[in-house]
Amino acid sequence: MQVPLQLSPSSISSFRTCPLAWRLDYVERLERTPSLDANIGTFVHSVAEALCGLPASRRTIDEARAAATAAWADHVEDEEWQALQIPADRIPQIKWRAWRAVQRWFRLEDPGAVTVAGCELWVHGEVGGVAMRGIVDRLDVDEATGGFVVTDYKTGKMPMSSYQEERLFGVWVYAHLVADEHRARPVTKVRHLYLGERPGEVVRDVTPDALAATAEVVASTHQEMLQACATGEFETRESVLCGWCSFKSSCPAFGGDLLALLATGPRRVDRRKPVDENQQVLDMDGVRPAVVPAVAPQPVGAPVVGPPVVASPAAGEQPTGSPADVLALAPAAG
């Protein structure tokens, strides 16, 4: 068994959560359980990307609705959406959930006031001596400092403060990669925008100590991955997250038949697009930048652990606004 040649932040986090789940997901590349929440997240990201591709003056809620309508038409054609096999009578509810996330985005910030340097930006390089790669949701310019801000949207609810630091791991890795690739400006901030039921912003100033700590985590986790792949020993780490693990029914910690899964479990097809090596962050010098097109590889599916397919909207997640919002979001038959 071999550690993948390039790692993503989610791969590192997966190993730290449970080495066996990481093996099944990132080494064996077994199929994951389709996740509605991950699917809604993909949709909301596509709306945000489309809106940030417009001139700042056009980044309005009405344009967002138009972008959502267009994106939904494409979204329902996607295999990952179709794998969910959502009954038609649940689709309006799901549209509401997705649209509420877009509305919350507008409550957290004015997209028209953001100086966008790139969206869905492919970044790669070394962190802690390990080849890493990933996709930055949005790279902004902080007008106050002139530095870059790495912004990631999260469509779940904002975690309690005690969990916020570990969730930031991915944006810290991206801060490293952006700093190495785009040295014209320093990276001054990383931030998460939580667009779920409990919306909010988590932002941190970038410091050399924080970057060094991230590099250490990457390097030490990589060493543990090498060791596990060399010995074939992958620990199971039971936690509350097992409830969302795609492989729980085959996990030995829960009496599952791991060997049968390894022998017969379907593998994922790699649908990543080739990287466009010409993709670059546009530097501004006072001019509103164009958005870098989304030509990077797509993330390799949903995270190994994630929320289950929901059966109904979460409490407090009832739609607000007029029914026309839902009707405008997508054709009812969607």
Measured at the alpha carbon of residue 35, what is the angle toward residues 248 and 197, in degrees to the nearest 5? 115
Nearer to ligand SF4 by C-beta: 253 or 310? Answer: 253
Residue from 54, 114, 190, 251 touching ligand SF4 (CB under 6 A): that is 251
Residue from 78, 166, 238, 270 touching ligand SF4 (CB under 6 A): that is 238
Nearer to ligand SF4 by C-beta: 90 or 248? Answer: 248
The two beta strands, 200-205 and 187-194, are: antiparallel
Nearer to ligand SF4 by C-beta: 15 or 96? Answer: 15
Instruction: Please state the closest distance from residue 300 (CB atom) to ligand SF4, in A.
Output: 17
Say whether residue 237 binds ligand SF4 (CB under 6 A): yes
Binders in 108-167 for ligand SF4, by CB under 6 A: none
Distances (CA, A) of 77 to 90, 126, 128, 272, 273: 17, 36, 40, 17, 18
Say whether residue 81 binds ligand SF4 (CB under 6 A): no
Nearer to ligand SF4 by C-beta: 18 or 225? Answer: 18
User: In this structure, how many other beta carbons lie within 10 angstroms of the beta carbon of residue 309?
Assistant: 15
Q: How many residues bind ligand SF4 (CB under 6 A)?
A: 14
Residue from 136, 242, 300, 326 touching ligand SF4 (CB under 6 A): that is 242
Instruction: Please state the closest distance from residue 248 (CB atom) to ligand SF4, in A.
Output: 4
15 to 34: interface string for ligand SF4, x by CB under 6 A: ---x-xx-------------
Say whether residue 70 binds ligand SF4 (CB under 6 A): no
Distances (CA, A) of 226 to 4, 19, 219, 229: 10, 11, 11, 5
**Residue 130, amino acid:** V
Q: In the 8-state DSSP scheme, what is residue 26?
A: I
Secondary structure (3-state) at 185: coil
User: In this structure, how many other beta carbons lie within 10 angstroms of the beta carbon of residue 264?
Assistant: 8
What's the rounded Cα separation, in Å, for the pair 61 and 295?
A: 26
Cβ-contact 187, 228 below 8 angstroms: no
Q: Which residues of the chain form contacts with ligand SF4 (CB under 6 A)?
A: 18, 20-21, 236-238, 241-242, 245, 247-248, 251, 253-254
